[in-house]
Structure 1
Amino acid sequence: MDLKHLFNNLVTAVMVIDVDLRLCYANSAAEQLLGIGSHRLTEHSLADNFQIIGISTELLSNALRDNQGLTVNTAPLVTLDNQHHTVDITFTPLEQEQGLGLLELRQVDQQRRIHQQLTLDAQQQAAQYLVRNLAHEIKNPLGGLRGAAQLLSRELHDPELNEFTDMIIEQADRLRNLVDRLLGPQRPSQHSLQNIHQVIQKVLKLVTMALPDNIKLKQDYDPSIPDINMDSEQLQQAVLNIVQNAIQALEYAHFDTEKQITIKTRTQHQVTIGTKRHKIVIALSIIDNGPGIKPELMDTLFYPMVTGRDQGSGLGLSISHNFARLHGGRIDCQSKPGETEFTILLPIQSK
């Protein structure tokens, strides 16, 4: 059995360190957790590969020298790219390999995120069911209202009165469009093999035409990401909704630094979406340096009709979440003042 292949399929980050706390080995989960490739990880000491970890390096050194194991639960971990995690740390000296120890970091925030996602999916489906039933009830009288306005318009010969019937028809059409968006697709459409960067470029082409001069777009792509089966129109709309939200959040914000939106693509390994674990997924992140999302909105952010803007419809993120779900994926959000990051996770099917 190939032990390296076995370790690379673990969800737990596994590293082997020596008495000088230099890394001799790191599996794929460790690379993913720390955001650093294994070659760079093994070129530096353990302390140089993160900002903060909830155990002192001196304690690890002593444990290795004394051949003693250690366990630290719910320890903070801050990576070099400023990602915050909570991990359980286990250190075990390797009896057969003198001077080497096995360091395991198991993310517990991942478990919390999975639980939150399952709860969100259940609550959102219940909310969508209620909204869809309400939308159907609205559609029937709305059609009658529009038809009656059209008949009335034909009987009227005064242009001033026709103006009012035209207004009724126009507003009925606007409401019908809103209802149609609420009743959007609930099942996968025809998918084809396409590249996610082509989808992103179409979105950027659309938003660039009306982008305010004080907002800059930055692209940070991983060109090695393979094509996936997708409905490009659905994913384009999902990305567009999030980018437009970022633009609107920045447009009226007041701060001194440059306003910036970053579109970043990476791959992540051993990611659980819902109840299914995927070997590798695409992580498409839209990051802005705006004021952030109000904490009280975070738990209901993807619900229909929930918005933090006075003029918002509350449908954009709900539609984006639904399109990601139809592709077997999910959308994560982290927000604080100065940085909001939406990440669309899409499974890459193994060949």
Structure 2
Amino acid sequence: MSQGRNPTARPTLPGVAEGGCTAFDLLSTLIAVVAVDGTVRCANAALEDALGVSRKQILGAHLPDSFSHPDQLRSMLQAAGGFAALRFDALLSRPGRDSLPVHVLLTRTDRETVIVEMLPLEMQARQEREDRLTEQTRANREMFRNLAHEVKNPLGGIRGAAQLLDMELASPELQEYTRVIIHEADRLQSLVDKLLAPHRHPHTVSDVNIHEVCERVRTLILAEFPRGLTVVRDYDTSLPEFRGDREHLIQAVLNIARNACLALEERLASADARIVFRTRVARQTTIGRQRYRLALELRVIDNGPGVPEAIRDRIFYPLVSGREGGSGLGLTLAQTFVQQHFGTIEFESIPGCTDFRILIPLP
């Protein structure tokens, strides 16, 4: 960034401290407060992180020079006084890194100052995806409750009638039909119970060590898949404990890990199946449009064939499964349990590497 024409100018906005924007530092959006000539008067921590330069280098510099097309921002700054806000898409240049596509919003605060907000388009897409997922979870919750009411009572009646009929029939061939009815009624009852599981049991909060959760899951999957599977532990032992529901988190991680094992069928047969549990601290992370200073990051990585392209956009929806005979509930329940901790689950998948990433805010 080149030096602007008024490097000694100082911000006058409330909450703006000398050399930085204390109030804006809490936001995930990249923010600069600039003079109408483009001189940066203050910048928040998110902009500092995105550019990869210190705040001292940003202050007093000429913001339009950080854009691929600086004249566009210059003209917008001059025009900002006549409009409540101006918006446009642009490329933010970053020293030694790829340009960052951003959606820019300009808001005039007074005759001399403009707030420039820059929302990375990839972040915008992620936030929209999280919003859709949160809304889908709410819809699922309501659907499951309605399902319980509409299905459980008649299902119990069907099963009871089949049992009574079974006792009256003398022919083993005819009894076979009633037993099919009883078996299918039990299967549907089990399915409804699984759908309702996260909404029926109370949320029990205690101190949780994420590595104890991982070790419990590791023991369970090695007991179920004793041959051909290697589980790698890559832990950051500095991670603090946090308040949460230990059993729900075990179930969430187990569902992800078990799905991975089932997808590793061919590699299990050739004894080169591999799952990695990796824990790290994520800093300045945005979850559900809220920025957190610290978050727990748990990755479950496998070397399987990858998530089928046809279901990637719907993988957390109930009853969606990439495996024949699968219930399609494992990831739905995992996402629900993690959202109960104000977190989220994301994933990336290519053949040979599927990476599920659990993020949970830390105090």
> CA separation of 1:210/1:121 partners in 2, compared to 1, >3 Å: closer, same or farther?
same
Matched, 1:136 2:132: no
Q: 2:67 aligns with which of 67, 71, 85?
A: 71
**Equivalent-residue separation in structure 2 for 1:85 and 1:129 (angstroms):** 43
Aligned to 2:279: 265
- Over 3 Å counting, the alpha-carbon distance change for 1:171 and 1:257 in structure 2 is closer
Q: How far apart are residue 229 of structure 1 and its match?
A: 1.2
Aligned pair partner of 1:193 in 198, 207, 232: 207
1:18 aligned partner: none
Aligned pairs (5 A) from 1:17-166: 69-72=65-68, 73-74=90-91, 107-156=120-169, 164-166=177-179
Query: Matched residue of 1:222: which SS?
Result: coil
SS state at 1:186 partner: helix
1:154 to partner: Cα distance? 3.8
Taking a change above 3 Å as real, the CA distance of residues 256 and 155 of structure 1, as seen in their structure-2 partners, is closer
SS of residue matched to 2:252 = helix
CA distance in 2, matches of 1:2, 1:205: 53
* In 1: Cα distance, 2:343 partner to 2:330 partner: 17
Deviations 1:228-261 (A, max 9, x none): 1111111111111100111111113699994311
Deviations 1:50-85 (A, max 9, x none): xxxxxxxxxxxxxx9xx99332455799x99xxx99
Question: How far apart are 1:159 and its partner, in Å?
Answer: 6.1
Unaligned runs of 5+ in 2: 1-16, 32-43, 55-60, 69-89, 103-117
**Any conservation in 1 of the 2:303–2:353 contact (CA below 8 Å)?**
yes
Q: Answer with 68-77 or 126-135: which moved more.
A: 68-77
Q: 1:292 is matched with which residue: 306, 311, 320?
A: 306
The residue number in structure 2 matching 1:276 is: 290
Distance 1:206 1:86, change over 3 A: farther
Give the total of aligned pairs.
293
Distance 2:120 2:66 in 1: 17
TM-score by length of 2: 0.67
| 3-state SS in 2 of match to 1:150 | helix
Partner of 2:348: 334
Residues 190 and 337 (structure 1), Cα distance of their counterparts in 2 relative to 1, 3 Å cut? same
Equivalent of 1:308, from 303, 319, 322?
322
Partner amino acid, structure 2, of 1:69: D
Tell me if structure 2 keeps the 8 A contact 1:297–1:308: yes
Aligned-partner Cα distance in 1 for 2:356–2:191? 25
Q: Which amino acid counterpart does residue 302 of structure 1 have in structure 2?
A: F
Query: How far off is 1:331 after superposition?
Result: 0.6
Could you list the runs of 5+ residues in structure 1 that have no partner in the other structure?
Answer: 15-26, 43-63, 89-104
Counterpart of 1:70, as a letter, is: S
Q: Structure 1 residue 277: deviation in Å?
A: 2.4
CA drift at 1:206: 0.6
Q: In structure 2, which of residues 182, 185, 191 is the aligned counterpart of residue 178 of structure 1? A: 191
Counterpart-to-counterpart distance in 1, 2:229 and 2:49: 31
Distance 1:296 1:235 in 2: 28
Q: Identify the match of residue 234 of structure 1 among 248, 261, 272.
A: 248
Structure-1-length-normalised TM-score: 0.69
SS at match of 2:295: strand
What RMSD over aligned residues (CA atoms) do the two structures have, in Å?
Answer: 4.1
User: Which deviates more, 151-160 or 1-10?
Assistant: 1-10
Instruction: Provide closer, same or farther for how the CA distance between residues 275 and 304 of structure 1 changes in structure 2, counting only shifts above 3 A.
Output: same
Change (3 A) 1:330 1:250: same
Could you say what secondary structure the match of 1:144 adopts?
helix
**Which residue in the other structure is 2:4 paired with?**
none
Identity of aligned residues (%): 41
Deviation at 1:155, TM superposition (A): 3.6
